């Protein structure tokens, strides 16, 4: 079966609707690091560091909960507007996370994937990322997709242009060119911190995903909250526009 045929079948299956079943692919907008720190009169950098700790625990939990894919919004294409010192702190945390966790990923059959244009990041980070991608390329238990310098509108524009260059521009043709083309369809999108918006994240992929918004700030988000969201998802009947 070609990739295009697989994409067509996926669209047909979505339109058919049906019960949720277990989630295969969950995405999270990890929001609230700065507010978490502000509430405690701490520097924002401390909030970001605690946010990385939460990432580590949630990735481990996703593996144990049987998720095939977990996509995390780590750094958007709009985040470059933040103060330089905050961007520097975030880049430092990214370096530290890759260096400290890649061995655990390799040992536990976790594949790292990057969506977005990560190659504009500092060269040493690009090298760390590419080494980590190569190291985990053949892992298959869970895929951790990290969105870096990612914007969904830009992704859709790139995908549509690539589809047009190859032939007819159809839903399946665009899906085949998305950064997430090799991942299962998005089942559930979670956003922390009480904000209720998508912030240019997985706009195409979220077309029929279930949404779960929580007031919990990201550094306080635990595997228990992930389980709560998955339990909510399991109660949903996914109709995809049907009755």
Catalytic residues: 31, 79
Q: Report the distance separating Cα 70 and Cα 59, nearest Å.
A: 8
CA nearest to 148, candidates 130, 136, 172? 130
Helix (H, G, I), strand (E, B) or coil at 18: strand
Distance CA(59)–CA(155), nearest Å, equals 24
Q: Name residue, tokens 């009947």.
A: 237
Cα(149)–Cα(166) distance, rounded to whole angstroms? 26
For residue 80, what is the DSSP state?
G
* CA distance linking residue 179 with residue 74, whole number of Å: 15
Q: How far apart are CA 68 and CA 224, in angstroms?
A: 18
Surface-to-core class of residue 148, CB atoms within 10 Å of its CB (0-12 exposed, 13-18 middle, 19+ buried): buried
Question: What does residue 10 show for φ and ψ, rounded to 5 degrees?
Answer: -65, -45
Separation between Cα atoms, residue 77 and residue 66, nearest integer Å: 30
Q: Which two tokens stand for residue 75?
A: 């750094």
Segment (H or E) for 143: strand 142-150
């Amino acid at each position: 079966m070609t990739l295009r045929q697989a994409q067509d079948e996926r669209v047909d299956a979505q339109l058919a609707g049906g019960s949720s079943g277990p989630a295969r692919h969950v995405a999270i907008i990890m929001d609230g690091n700065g507010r978490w720190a502000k509430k405690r009169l701490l520097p924002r950098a401390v909030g970001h560091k605690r946010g990385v700790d939460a990432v580590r625990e949630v990735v481990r939990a996703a593996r144990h909960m049987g998720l095939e894919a977990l996509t995390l919004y780590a750094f958007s294409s709009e985040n470059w507007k933040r103060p330089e010192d905050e961007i520097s702190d975030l880049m430092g945390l990214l370096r530290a996370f890759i260096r400290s966790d890649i061995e655990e990923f390799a040992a536990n059959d976790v594949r790292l994937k990057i969506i977005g244009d990560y190659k504009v990041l500092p060269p040493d980070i690009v090298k760390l990322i590419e080494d980590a991608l190569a190291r985990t390329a053949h892992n298959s238990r869970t895929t951790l997709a990290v969105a870096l310098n990612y914007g969904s509108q830009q992704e859709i524009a790139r995908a549509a242009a690539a589809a047009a260059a190859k032939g007819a521009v159809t839903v399946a043709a665009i899906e085949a060119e998305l950064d997430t083309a090799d991942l299962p369809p998005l089942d559930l999108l979670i956003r922390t911190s009480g904000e209720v918006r998508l912030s240019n994240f997985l706009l195409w992929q979220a077309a029929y995903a279930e949404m779960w918004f929580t007031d919990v700030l990201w550094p306080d988000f635990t595997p228990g909250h992930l389980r709560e969201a998955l339990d909510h998802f399991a109660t949903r009947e996914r109709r995809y526009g049907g009755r």
